[in-house]
Structure 1
Amino acid sequence: MQESKMTWGQALRVYLKPKVLAMFFLGFSAGLPFLLVFSTLAAWLTDYGVSRTTIGFFGLVGLTYSIKFAWAPVIDHLRIPFFNGLLGKRRSWLLLSQLGIALCLFFLANLNPQLALTKIALIAVAVAFCAASQDVVIDAFRIESASEELQGAMAANYVFGYRVALLVAGGGALYIADIADWSTSYLSMAGLMGVGIITTLIVAEPDHTKAAELAKPFERAWIERIWGSGEHSGLKEWFVKAVICPVIDFFKRNGRFALILLLLIGIYRISDLAMGVMANPFYLDLGFSKTDIFQIVKVFGFFFSILGAYLGGLLVVHYGIMRPLILGAVMVAATNLLFAHMAQIGPDKNWLAILISADNVSAGISNTVFIAYLSSLVNQEYTATQYALFSSLMTLPGKFISGFSGIVVDSMGYSVFFTYAAILGIPAVLLAVYVWWRDNRKAEVDTPTTS
């Protein structure tokens, strides 16, 4: 990978490119349904007297997002009749998933939790399925629409749009429900899916021709290796192309080094994810009020997370991916030490503001750069499948470890817990440095010398 890309002026102008601007609106479309089947839906059910136990079971809807890789091969290789001819592979899937979200939200708006709780649960799963499918398509569309050097900027705009949508679907939906009713609130959210639909109709379909042609000999060889020579059923050929080849392709391109890359993907965010579930209990236990948390952590932190995302995009455009990737890993681990220090000094609002600034900037940089890095690892013939697998892998270890975070806090206290969380980030830093060193060494070997 090249490490020097553009001047700072050129890097800033990247954000004005139409394909980069479009990612803000697609990010908004991706973020809007998320809270509408989680915390916002929980608030609606609470208003109608649904039990806490039942509301808790609605949290299982989130599993849909975690297993989206299971149907990503279908999205990668199945063409939707009629729509594919009009819009192309990615845009037709985008439009279908967005219309599905809008329609399901419309149905939700016309239901009463006291009379149709089962229907609400089923439709919530349908919203989550369509939303997770939309995520798969948007990731593939983003990677295929722009070169590697623009991926940081594309990711930054996507994150910005996603964050704005979370504010709208969280605070905005609650506000509408307060001044009107829940039906009006969810109807409004269904209407706002028009942002994504209009964007899908305007943007250009990525060109898949070259990647598809390059993949044909590879896919044919593996079809014959698995099923033998001769003609085979369409289902057998599809299974090899859509499910087997994406995995084989990744290992074929990277060899045994693929295992190192998968390890880096799995542990890069582990320091961040391991402590995430303990953040709000930490603020409350320290003595901050809910208003303090809203004003400083949520509102103040929102702007710094966006700042971090855009800084991450600029760093990728200017320096390439690997050096900002290392920086992001260092910053995420280091900010955990600020949490450990905060646990010692108590509820100081100035320190909380400093902590939230540093934490959100570091998270914004690391997330944006890591998205760009994962994007650089995929083959554009298998974009949706490979990226869905990577994005699932990057959260699993951290989420698993976070399940034990309460045990550490109860037995050793917050200061020790956050120190441990910082230490968990060290392997990611070292591995990122190693991958950077290896890429540089490989580039030197591959570059021909001139006499």
Structure 2
Amino acid sequence: MSATPPTLSKDTPKKSWGEAFAAYADRRSIIMLLLGFFAGIPILLIFSSLSLWLREAGIERSVVTLFSWAALGYSFKFIWAPLIDAVPVPILTRLLGRRRAWLLVAQLLIMAAIVIMASIDPINADALTYMAAGAVLLGFSSATQDIVIDAYRIELAPVELQTVLSAVYSAGYRIGMIVAGAGALYLAAGFGSTEASYSYAAWRNTYYIMAAIMGAGVVTTLCIREPISTQVRIERKPSDYGRLVAVFVLAVTAFVFTFINFGKLLPETDGVLLAFGLETVHLFVSLAVGIAVGYASVMIGVVQREVAVATWVAPIADFFRRYGKKALLLLALIGLYRVSDIVAGVISNVFYQDMGFSKVDIANAVKLFGVIMVIAGGFLGGLLAQRLRIMQAMMVGAILACVTNLLFVLLTYHPGSLSYMYLAVVFDNLAAGLASAVFIAFLSALTSIRFTAVQYAIFSSLMTLFPKVFGGYSGSIVDNMGYPFFFIFTFAIGIPVLLLIYLVDKHIVIGENDDVAEIASNPNMSRTDEPPRAGE
């Protein structure tokens, strides 16, 4: 079997409307709907729900938006994704299979992180550090869950079904967001916490309930079946796996140490652009030190060089070998495609609150009705991606994602108006759902089956890295320039994306690859180490 996905050329035959709709009833679609639900729970417990919790506790807006950096694990998950592909979980991999074993571990860590956050009252300034630590753990563990689910999805079905799986995964994800978004706000309000009368117990109980819901994800993981992987894996000694983990731990330790201490040397500034530039330098210097320590660890023999190269370098080399210099154009598109809606989304809940809407208003409009529109947009994106060429669908999504941000400018001139709020929410979320579904399908088509978890993690990490780093300063931009300027700015930064889509569509055939899998008879390689399925 070839290790490459089919080429999505301009001549690829399109499905009929009947075939496009029928694919949503496939058993694999139901599995991805469930996994998407549990993937959607953690993200809002870091972003919007946590933002409202912190605001009710009296935390400054600029500090609240900085908490979005706790989710940077999503942007750096490519660093440990190779370990997910390469390292089996002791005992669990033999019992459950590689994907389900890692999925179970990630879900247990998510539950632990939510419980830690629930146990801390942020109204105490000294407790914010511990709250941040819990949020970082939640970001890390939920990003790990995403790595596994993305690999599971790509291995579960051929590329022609990936648009459907992407759409139902996005639908499940958004339903999970309803529970963690609107559901959390309803619970917190029901337990007695309001902006005027903050109640730590209300938010604590809300987060405990979210942890219990994630327990159902554990049950789901134990019930679903492991996909039959065609990925060729090199069998290694247990000591090699331990050495790989040791290199990762050393690199992460160096990164954290540098990030903490180098940050103390940077000057404080009130300028938004200068502060953003300094923090970008802060982040990338820390990352460079972590990479350098990892490289040095390999050079001194902590792990064999060939093992490290196969784990971290080969997946990247494969992508550049397939696309050559055009790979840089693809990476630019991946890194900027979602910039408009992600940057705007970081401060959205605080924006609605500042416009005079209550938590119940926000829950009804944004976290419930808005998410339903995102789901509808996701299904529409899945249908469009089957009927149109993927790049045409990408163009539609990109145009809608940036243009709909202008509706929020209109809302700033009508604060407290539910009509204008719903107008903005409907079109913004419909656009976000469509763009997300077609983009997931696009990334899946770029991913080689040889490096499923690693390459998709790299792509999805790059997708959120710049927007999330920049989004951390959205509160400062609003404080200095106001909401109208901010939303016009988020519209403007989406315009270059349209040019990138045009250039990719003109010069690159997505999925183009002349590579084939290594010979399966190689005694050092195996197709899969997953347990056999009954009847197969």
Structure-2-length-normalised TM-score: 0.68
Q: Does 1:67 align with 2:136?
A: no
Equivalence for 1:90 = 99
Q: 2:101 is matched by which residue type in structure 1?
A: S
Query: Judging changes above 3 Å, is the alpha-carbon distance between structure 1 residues 288 and 195 closer, same or farther for their aligned structure 2 residues?
Result: closer
AA aligned opposite 2:386: V
Q: Any unmatched runs of 5+ in structure 2?
A: 1-7, 192-200, 235-294, 296-300, 513-536
Separation in 2 of the partners of 1:39 and 1:340?
A: 20
Pairwise CA RMSD of aligned residues? Answer: 3.9
Q: Please report how far the alpha carbon of residue 209 of structure 1 lies from its aligned counterpart in structure 2 after TM superposition.
A: 3.4
Matched letter for residue 95 of structure 2: L
For residue 177 of structure 2, what is the aligned residue in structure 1? 166
Equivalent pair of 2:315/2:451 in contact (CA under 8 Å)? yes
- Answering whether residue 402 of structure 2 is matched by residue 321 of structure 1, we say no
Query: Which residue, 209, 219, 230 being the options, matches 2:230?
Result: 209
Structure with higher helix content: 1
Q: How do 1:368-447 and structure 2 match up within 5 A?
A: 368-402=437-471, 414-439=483-508
CA contact (8 A) 2:37 2:173 kept: yes
Sort the Cα spacing of 1:304 and 1:264 in 2 relative to 1 into closer, same or farther, 3 A: same
Deviations 1:386-433 (A, max 9, x none): 222212211233334445656765676654543443332222112212
Q: Does 1:20 align with 2:29?
A: yes
Q: Distance in 1 between matches of 2:211 and 2:478?
A: 41
Question: What letter corresponds to residue 422 of structure 2 in structure 1?
Answer: A
One-letter code of the match for 1:364? G
Residues 40-87 of structure 1 deviation map (CA, whole Å, 9 limit, x = unaligned): 56777899x89779x958665434333222211111111123222222
C-alpha spacing 1:101/1:270, structure 2 compared with 1 (3 Å): closer
What amino acid does structure 1 have at the position aligned with 2:100? R
Contact 1:5–1:149 (CA<8 Å) still a contact in 2?
A: no
- Name the residue aligned to 1:218: none
Q: How many correspondences in the alignment?
A: 425
Q: 2:109 matched to 1:100?
A: yes
Distance (Å, rounded) in 2 between the aligned partners of 1:298 and 1:311: 20
Tell me the residue number matched to 2:147. 136
Name the CA shift for 1:210/1:71 in 2 (closer, same or farther; >3 Å).
Answer: closer
* 1:41-440 to 2 correspondences below 5 Å: 61-103=70-112, 105=114, 124-173=135-184, 178-179=190-191, 185-212=206-233, 235-280=304-349, 282-283=351-352, 292-343=361-412, 348-402=417-471, 414-439=483-508
Provide the rounded CA distance (Å) in 2 between the counterparts of 1:240 and 1:285: 50
**Whole-angstrom CA distance in 1 between matches of 2:156 and 2:511:** 27
Segments of 5+ residues of structure 1 without an aligned counterpart are 214-225, 227-231, 444-451
Contact 2:399 / 2:498 at 8 angstroms: preserved in 1? Answer: yes
Match of 1:33 among 34, 42, 46: 42
SS at match of 1:6: coil
Change (3 A) 1:10 1:184: same
For the residue of structure 2 that corresponds to 1:209, the secondary structure is coil
Matches of 1:404 and 1:254 in 2, distance apart? 34
- Give the % identical residues: 43
Specify which structure has the bigger relative contact order, considering alpha-carbon pairs within 8 angstroms and separated by 6 or more residues: 2
> What is the SS of the residue equivalent to 1:422?
helix
> Which residue of 2 is the match for residue 216 of structure 1?
none
Shift of 1:163: 2.2
Are residues 240 and 102 of structure 1, via their aligned partners in 2, closer, same or farther at CA, if it must alter by over 3 Å? same
* Correspondence for 1:449: none
- For residues 316 and 472 of structure 2, the distance between their equivalents in structure 1, rounded to whole angstroms, comes to 29
CA contact (8 A) 1:329 1:429 kept: yes
Relative to structure 1, is the Cα distance of residues 436 and 282 closer, same or farther in structure 2, using a 3 angstrom cutoff?
A: same
| Residue identity opposite 1:162 in structure 2 | Y
Rounded to whole Å, the distance in 2 between the matches of 1:421 and 1:107 is 34
1:245: how far off?
0.5
* TM-aligned CA deviation for residue 274 of structure 1: 3.6
Quickly say closer, same or farther: Cα 1:80–1:169, change in 2 above 3 A: same
CA-CA distance at 1:145 after TM superposition: 1.3
- Where 1:80 maps in the other structure, the secondary structure is coil
Which amino acid in structure 2 is aligned with residue 246 of structure 1?
P
Deviation at 1:161, TM superposition (A): 2.0
Provide TM-score, normalisation by structure 1: 0.79
> 3-state SS of the aligned residue for 1:381?
helix
| 1:38/1:58 contact within 8 Å kept | yes
- The residue type paired with residue 153 of structure 1 is V
Aligned partners of 1:22 and 1:199 also within 8 Å: no
**Equivalent residue letter for 1:7:** S
Residues 71, 140 of structure 2: 8 Å contact kept: no
**Distance in 1 between the 2:394 and 2:203 partners?**
43
Q: Distance in 2 between matches of 1:417 and 1:73?
A: 37
3-state SS, counterpart of residue 304 of structure 2: helix
Moved more, 164-173 or 430-439: 164-173
